[in-house]
């Protein structure tokens, strides 16, 4: 019989896709989510399945988390406060959710000896300029006076905590650094650029590009990311290590906007919005964020299979369907 896996944030964008993939792979999945950013619609098709269970609760509810962890063989911890807009608007929530939530998960997992896959982010590289980013590279954070770096720092603390539990208590922990995961079901509510551009283009609204638009990112298709997560979950040699997960196809924000306009046949214009106006005065951003995928490729043979255009076409189709169903 396959293992029981607890997914925190299991009704969210990545969590719902992961729940689906693991159930289809024969695992019994329990998804816990407080639905602050996750949505019941994301997992509605899984509810009738006997190998799937959903629990609506905060991971900081120690009694519920303890019970669910005691019944699990593995915890994949995705629950977090995400999105640059949310971080700037509500830094206390960001720090508390990410650090206290992760500590709660690790404490419960350590009590029962559960393997933990811990979701982190490319943001932990901070203002580093050495491209591509390798897992052992230094992290260069901005000033504590700038709340923009609260998310990056909180996720770095999560990594330190996870690896400390591994070294001090022998808890099997794997750290996954996601680089801009995109795909259907992603909310644009907190500044995620791909769904925001696609919705603006489909509504014939101006595409808002922040800054000069020359900043570049690599967008990992959620289906590729799932293969990496499941590969690491099923590989004992991954324990105690940190892995970048994403794509190496780099694109500037203005080029991304132009690509979305072309694929949607939209007549929308591109409008440039200063960072200070979009977020807050003194906002800082990385110019480039490109992962080295050598380490994960060497261990599990991971390589992205989807191009950015493949991913954008799927997001566009999904968003069109959402808009039609909303009337």
151 is catalytic: yes
CA distance 93 to 78: 16
Q: Which two tokens stand for residue 242?
A: 């940190």
**For residues 141 and 149, what is the distance between their CA atoms, to the nearest angstrom?**
7
Q: Is 300 in contact with 228 (CB distance < 8 Å)?
A: yes
Rounded distance between C-alpha atoms, residue 230 and residue 236, angstroms: 12
Q: Which two tokens stand for residue 201?
A: 């283009």
Say which of 27, 112, 125, 151 is annotated catalytic.
151
Q: How many residues would you count in the chain?
A: 327
Give the DSSP letter string of 15-82. Answer: HHHHHHHHHHTT-EEEEEE--SS--GGGTGGGTT-TTEEEEES-TT-HHHHHHHHHT-SEEEE-----
> Is 219 buried (19+), middle (13-18) or exposed (0-12) by CB count in 10 A?
buried
**Residue 73, token pair as written in the block:** 């063989």
Interior CA angle at 23 toward 22 and 24, to 5°?
90
Name the residue among 6, 22, 29, 12 with its Cα closest to residue 108: 6
**Would you say the C-alpha torsion 25, 110, 168, 136 has a positive or negative sign?**
positive
C-alpha triplet 273, 275, 277: angle, nearest 5°: 70
Annotated active-site positions, please?
Answer: 151
């Amino acid at each position: 019989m396959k293992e029981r896996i607890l997914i925190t944030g299991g009704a969210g964008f990545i969590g719902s896709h992961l729940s689906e993939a693991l159930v289809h792979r024969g695992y019994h999945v329990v998804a816990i989510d407080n639905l602050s950013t996750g949505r019941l619609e994301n997992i509605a098709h899984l509810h009738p399945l006997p190998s799937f269970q959903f629990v609506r609760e905060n991971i900081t509810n120690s009694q519920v988390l303890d019970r669910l962890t005691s019944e699990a063989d593995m915890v994949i911890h995705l629950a977090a406060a995400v999105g640059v807009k949310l971080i700037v608007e509500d830094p206390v929530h960001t720090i508390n959710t990410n650090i206290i939530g992760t500590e709660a998960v690790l404490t419960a997992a350590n009590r029962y000896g559960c393997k933990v896959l811990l979701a982190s982010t490319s943001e932990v590289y901070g203002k580093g300029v050495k491209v591509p980013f390798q897992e052992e590279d230094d992290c260069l954070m901005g000033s504590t006076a700038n709340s923009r770096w609260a998310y990056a720092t909180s996720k770095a603390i999560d990594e330190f905590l996870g690896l400390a539990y591994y070294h001090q208590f022998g808890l099997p922990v794997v750290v996954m650094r996601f680089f801009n995961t995109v795909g259907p079901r992603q909310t644009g509510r907190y500044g995620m650029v791909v769904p925001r551009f696609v919705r603006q283009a489909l509504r014939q609204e101006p595409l808002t590009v922040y800054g000069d638009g020359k900043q570049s990112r690599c967008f990992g298709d959620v289906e590729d990311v799932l293969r990496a997560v499941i590969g690491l979950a099923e590989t004992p040699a991954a324990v105690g290590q940190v892995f970048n997960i994403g794509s190496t196809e780099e694109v500037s924000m203005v080029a991304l906007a132009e690509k979305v306009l072309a694929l949607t046949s939209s007549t929308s214009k591109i409008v440039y919005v200063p960072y200070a106006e979009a977020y807050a005065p003194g906002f800082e951003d990385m110019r480039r964020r490109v992962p080295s995928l050598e380490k994960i490729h060497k261990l599990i043979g991971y390589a992205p299979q989807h191009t950015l255009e493949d991913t954008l076409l799927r997001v566009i189709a999904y968003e069109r369907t959402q808009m039609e169903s909303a009337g």
